[in-house]
Structure formats: structure tokens, C-alpha cells
Amino acid sequence: MTMRTCKNLLVTGGAGFIGCNFIRLLLSPGHEFSGRIINLDALTYAGNPASLADIEARYGGNRYFFVSGDIRNPDLVQFLFKNYAIDTVVHFAAESHVDRSILGPEAFITTNVLGTFTLLEAARQYWGGDSAGTLFHHISTDEVYGSLGKQGYFTETSPYDPRSPYSASKAASDHLVMAYHHTYALPVTLSNCSNNYGPYQFPEKLIPLMILHMLSGKPLPVYGDGKNIRDWLYVEDHAHALWTIIKGGRTGEKYAIGGENEWENLTLLTTLIDLVSRKTGMDGDTLHAAITFVKDRPGHDRRYAIDCSKLKAELGWKQLVTFEEGLAKTVDWYLANPEWIQGIQSGEYQQWLNKNYDTR
Ligand SMILES: NC(=O)c1ccc[n+]([C@@H]2O[C@H](COP(=O)([O-])OP(=O)(O)OC[C@H]3O[C@@H](n4cnc5c(N)ncnc54)[C@H](O)[C@@H]3O)[C@@H](O)[C@H]2O)c1
């Protein structure tokens, strides 16, 4: 298998949760990547430059360039391709939270669909007929496939069946990426991943939300009956998978990435409560008593699960972090980083929490 060499990576959304973990991996000591990263991020509520402050201090202006800007801006995107001789795009930038897409879908359509289109057009124009050594990798979600029953798994060939404005916008962007491959021979790879967890995740998502609510003595809101099932993957394992695909994935191919680690929301929460209680000395019974069932999310998918055997067999990737280790690392990280947490718990975030978690 020929391995790609990537020199100038345009990472979009690198100030978000998964993007910053990906950048941290590539710029970690001893990592084989030796090129430059240009991180284009609009710094929405979910983007946080503090997540990469140490990377900026160490590599800023040398191997790492932060550009505050919008993927929907064609002039800016085209300028970046030319100015930095971009050969690889790693496209994370998105509006990513299902609940927000229900309250306000428009930004999901413009960023996830039009933003992806803007990047694809720039890649097509800049790489033109000479796309040797180039790659556009699109990061997507298993939510594009809809909901599973008790049995079965999503694979690369599962039919698309998105149920929320978020997943519909991601599905549309997936289709555009594949269409650019088939129509214009743009070298693309695409990955659909299950739920990620780990350091630097914005605390509107389940695991950090629960940890922070436990630490501040707030109710622990659980949607519906708490029996929805998600597959969880430690974010560093996702970052490794992405690098594996970027290096060796076949163009025009999709790769499903998953944790092979399914949990009912309520069982996951009780496990997390026990962990936080052990690590902090907080009273477990009090934490359990804080569980509050709230009105279910409209169109709440029941179960997601991924069969990632293609990625494992073809490219030799595997998960390295068990759920037990990953959860412990995540709780430790949130306990050790109160400044990062304070920095993002803005007024906007508090208002959003009040609006979204309507108690029954
Ligand atoms: N979090 C998960 O569990 C998960 C699972 C599977 C796939 N994904 C996908 O992975 C990608 C990253 O997810 P995440 O959880 O890190 O998201 P995130 O919400 O934490 O980060 C998104 C980043 O994109 C930036 N951004 C948003 N709109 C932008 C725009 N118009 N222009 C430039 N930057 C913009 C934000 O500022 C932020 O830094 C998304 O495409 C998401 O669909 C996420």
C-alpha cells in the first residue's frame, strides 16, 4: 500500500473538540507527520482557541497557523489554498449538536452544506487536473444512517436515513463529497464515526455535561426513559483512525469508525456517577438522586452501532483505549482544567441549557 505524504494540511474546525485533538496528535512529539497545519475556524460558541494555546505557543507561525474565518467564505478559502499550497483538507468544521439543530436549523444548512460545498469548489479549482498527492477527507457521523433496532450495525453501505436537521445536513455534505469524487475525480475519503468523548469536549454533549453538573451540584438531565443506546469512542482513537485513513485510505471510499462499545444512556450515567464519586469523594447517593428525567428530544434515534471491520481489516486500525480508561482520563481532565471550563461557560451557554432542558 502506498502511503500519502501530506505537507500542508488545511484543517477546518480545528478549534473544536475532535479537530483540536487531531491537531494535538499530529503535532505531538515523535509523530510521523512533519508538515504544516493551517487551522481555519470561525470560533463559534463551540470553537475555543484555548484548546490549542500550548500548540500555538510552540509551533505558531512555523508548523501551525491559526486563521479565524468562515468556511462559507470562498475568497478566504481560495486564498488559503494558494497561500499555503494546500495538498490535504481535513474537514471537521460543522455545526455539530443535534439539540441546537432542532432549535435553529439554519446555521446547520449553511455551514454543513454550503461550507462543505465552498471547500470542495476551492479544492477542485486549486488542484484542477493535477490532483496527484492531494486528498479531501470529510469527517461525518453515524447519525446519517438513522436509527437501529435492537439488532444490527451500520456499515459503509447502510442506506442514508437522517432524522434531524443536523444529520440531514451532514448527509447532504457526505453526498456532495462523494459527488465531487465521481463527477470531477476529486480525491476524497470519508469517515462516519460514532459518539466521541474525551478532553476538550464542549459541555453541551452528554459526558462533559454530566461531569460538570455533578461537580456543581446541578440536576443530571436524562432524555425520555434513558434507554437510548450509543456507541462511544475515545477521541484520540478517532484521531488515530483519521490519520490512518488520510495516510492509506483508498480514494472514493468511506470508512466507518466506531468504539464497539454500546451503552444505554442511563447505565452510562450511573457508571460515570460512580467514577466521579470515587475520584472526588462526593456522595454517590446524592449524585444518583440528582438524575432528572426530561422531555425526550423530538425524533430521538433509539440506537446507533457501527461495524468498523473494513477499517480494521484494510488499514489495520484498532481502538487503543478501553471505555474504563477513557472515562477515567476524561473525568481527570475535566477535574484538572477548571480554567478551560470557566472560559466556555458563557452567558450564551447558560441560556441555551435553560432553553433546551425543559423539565417534565
Ligand atoms: N462529536 C462527536 O461525537 C462526533 C461524532 C461523529 C462525527 N462528528 C463530526 O466531527 C466533526 C467535528 O465535531 P466536533 O464534535 O469536534 O464539533 P465541535 O462543535 O466541537 O467543533 C466544530 C468546530 O467547527 C467550527 N465551525 C463551526 N462553523 C464554522 C464555520 N462556518 N466556519 C469555520 N469553522 C466553523 C467551530 O468554531 C468549532 O471549532 C463534525 O463535522 C461532526 O459532525 C462528531
* CA–centroid distance, residue 156 to ligand 1 (Å): 21
- Among the listed residues 64, 126, 166, 197, the single catalytic one is 166
* CA–centroid distance, residue 15 to ligand 1 (Å): 9
**What is the atom index within ligand 1 of the atom nearest the CA of 14?**
39
The structure's pTM equals 0.95
Domain segments of the chain as ranges:
8-197+234-260+300-321
Range with lowest mean pLDDT among 67-71, 145-149, 198-202: 145-149
Residues present in the chain in total: 360
* CA–centroid distance, residue 32 to ligand 1 (Å): 25
With cell 465521481, the residue in question is 182
Q: Which of 40, 44, 154 to mutate to test ligand 1, by most ligand atoms within 8 A of the CB atom?
A: 44
Contacts of 182 (CB under 8 A, 6+ apart): 252
Which H/E stretch holds residue 76? Answer: helix 74-83
59 is catalytic: no
pLDDT tens column, 211-249: 999 999 999 999 999 999 999 999 999 999 999 999 999
pLDDT tens column, 88-97: 999 999 999 9
Residue ranges around ligand 1 (CB below 6 Å): 12-13, 15-19, 41-44, 46-47, 70-72, 92-96, 111, 115, 139-141, 170, 193, 195-196, 202
Cβ pair 242, 191 in contact under 8 A: yes
In 3D, which of 8, 52, 29, 353 has the Cα closest to residue 210?
A: 353
% pLDDT > 70, the chain: 96
Q: What angle do CA 31, 37, 43 make, to 5 degrees?
A: 120
pLDDT tens column, 134-185: 999 999 999 999 999 889 999 999 999 999 999 999 999 999 999 999 999 9
| Coarse DSSP helix, strand, coil percentages of the chain, rounded to the nearest 5 percent | 45, 20, 35
Residue 14 to residues 51, 74, 89, 339, Cα–Cα distance (Å)? 9, 18, 12, 20
Residue 149 to residues 229, 257, 306, Cα–Cα distance (Å)? 10, 19, 13
CATH superfamily of 8-197+234-260+300-321: NAD(P)-binding Rossmann-like Domain (3.40.50.720)
In 3D, which of 80, 61, 58, 59 has the Cα closest to residue 69?
A: 80
166 is catalytic: yes
